[in-house]
Structure 1
Amino acid sequence: MLHKSRGIVLRAVKYGDTSLIVSIFTELFGLQSYIVNGARSSKPKAAKGNLLQPGNILELVVYHNEIKNLQRISEFKLGHIYHTVQLNVVKNTVALYIIELLQKCLKQPEQHLDLYYFTESTLQLLDISEIAVVANLPLYFTLKVGEFLGFRLNGHFSEYTPYLDLQEGTYTDLPPHHINHLDPVYSELTDQLFRCTAVQHLAAISMNKEKRRKLLYAYLDFFQLHLPDFTEMHSPPILHEILDA
């Protein structure tokens, strides 16, 4: 049966002489793998294979069979045309971080509607946002992905609860008896990020590159505590080098 769905390309791997196997986070079916025949041939029609770049948002018409691990695409086209993401090295690096985080988190072919819509919206806002917003976007996105996957932070920073226990995911009055926690400075910054109701508000949260670096690695440790198969990411060092702010 054919279905219409939007999707975000996560990975494309060469298969055979002319084909690709493409991993796509879809609106309807969550994470899916598709074989696209002829996407790498010399024929003009194969130029559409260039649309299957990680981060691209697509409109899809797909065949779906729940008992199969590898699906097929009937039609696909761009669902959003980026204006700056692919040209601006900072925005492109942030987009690659977003895509890698999803690759690490999404393992099963199950629908995640809220996460899908949030990711698509974030990528589109990344395309039009100023750099002051972009610098804090990886932190904000990481916290929100955790929330959508079921391990959101509980409580808020205050003078009575100044420590964020990453192991329990909650703010506490005293530092816990383990290393997986944030001190009051970083706990407060995390609360400011988490309380943001719109991406544009991220520009108002001021921090230097060292604080961003420490927070991002703390959030990734938080993921490892709550997702047993979450493995080390490769994009954060590149991200910190490119942002440098």
Structure 2
Amino acid sequence: MVHATKGIVLRTVKYGDTSIITTVYTELFGIQSYIVKGVRQSSKTSSGKASFFQPSAMLEMEVYHNEQKQLQFIKEYQWSYLYEKVLFDVVRNTVAMFVIELLQHSLKQPEANPELFYLIEDTLKQLDRGNDTLTGNLPLYFTLHLGSELGFQLHGTYSAKTPVLDLQEGMFTAEKPSHPYYLDQSLAQITSQLAGLQFYNELENIQLNRGTRRELLQAYQTYLSLHIADFGEMKSFEILQEILA
């Protein structure tokens, strides 16, 4: 059957002489792989079509879907959102690539999760539109909220009685745990603040220095790796730190 769905491109590799295989996080079916034929041909009809499938591209698609197959086919595709800055601004593009790599490490099963799709879609749009402070804080916000959408939301909030965030248990506690995976003091307080934000524009009011952002982002990646099997190492982490500096 043919289905209409939005999709966000995560990865694309060459297939044969003229085609590609693209991995897309879709609104209807979760993560899926598609063969797209002929987009790398040097002809008038194919010129520019490969650009639709660069990582972070947001598409409206008509797709053939068969649950018994690992590779699906795309019938039609067009932009669902055209970036104004992300593809041309080095900082925003680096943040977008961090978001995409984080998804590559986190999404293991082809399960539909519309709320997660909307989180990714909104995050990339806000990255395209927001100011520099929002751009710098967005990786922190997205990593925390990705964990929530994947089923391991932080429990509790920072307070004088619960000043420690146990990353292994995913909760704010009164005492430091025996293991090394925790945040305390200002880092726990900032995390509580970020986890409680309801709107992206609130990120513009949080001023953090380079060192604090680095510590927090490293801790949030550790948090994901403690809850996602075979999470692996993020290659874009160091690049992101250099660019945001």
* TM bucket normalised to smaller: over 0.9
> RMSD of aligned C-alpha atoms?
0.7
> AA paired with 1:213?
R
Amino acid at match of 2:87: Q
Residue 91 of structure 1 aligns to a residue in which SS?
Answer: helix
Q: Is the 8 A contact 1:163 1:181 kept in 2?
A: yes
Segments of structure 2 that go 5 or more residues without pairing to the other structure are none
Q: Which residue of 1 aligns with 2:220?
A: 219
Unaligned runs of 5+ in 1: none
Partner of 2:198, secondary structure, is coil
Residue 203 (structure 1) shift: 1.5
In 1, the alpha carbon distance for the partners of 2:39 and 2:107 equals 25
Once superposed, which parts of structure 1, at least 4 consecutive aligned residues long, lie more than 3 Å away? none
User: CA–CA distance in 2 between the matches of 1:210 and 1:219?
Assistant: 14
Q: What does 1:1-245 correspond to in 2, within 5 Å?
A: 1-47=1-47, 48-244=49-245
- How many angstroms does 1:238 deviate by? 0.5
Q: Aligned partners of 1:54, 1:218: CA distance in 2, in Å? A: 25
Q: CA separation in 1, counterparts of 2:177 and 2:110?
A: 36
The answer on whether the counterparts of 1:192 and 1:205 sit within 8 Å (CA) in structure 2 is no
Question: Deviations 1:122-152 (Å, cap 9, x if unpaired)?
Answer: 1111111000111000000000000000011
Whole-angstrom CA distance in 2 between matches of 1:45 and 1:33? 23
Q: How far did residue 202 of structure 1 move?
A: 0.7
SS at match of 2:10: strand
- Cα deviation for residue 99 of structure 1 reads 0.6
Give the Å deviation of 1:205. Answer: 1.4
In structure 2, what is the Cα distance between the partners aligned to 1:42 and 1:179? 55
Amino acid at match of 1:100: E
Identity %: 49
TM-score normalized with structure 1 length: 0.98
Give the distance between the partners of 1:50 and 1:191, measured in 2 at CA.
39
Distance 1:167 1:205 in 2: 26
CA distance in 2, matches of 1:20, 1:143: 32
Deviation at 1:118, TM superposition (A): 1.0
CA deviations 1:100-121 (Å, max 9, x no partner) are 1111111211101100011101
Take 2:12 and 2:217, find their aligned partners in 1: how far apart are those partners?
A: 26
| Deviation, structure 1 residue 228 | 1.4
CA separation in 2, counterparts of 1:58 and 1:66? 21
- Post-superposition offset of 1:51: 1.0
Superposed CA deviations along residues 147-183 of structure 1, whole A, max 9, x for unmatched, are 0000110000001100000010000111111100012
Alpha-carbon contact 1:104-1:231 (below 8 Å) kept: yes
Q: Distance in 2 between matches of 1:50 and 1:202?
A: 31
Aligned length: 244
- What per-residue deviation string (whole Å, max 9, x for no partner) do you get for residues 198-234 of structure 1? 1110121121110100110111111111011211111
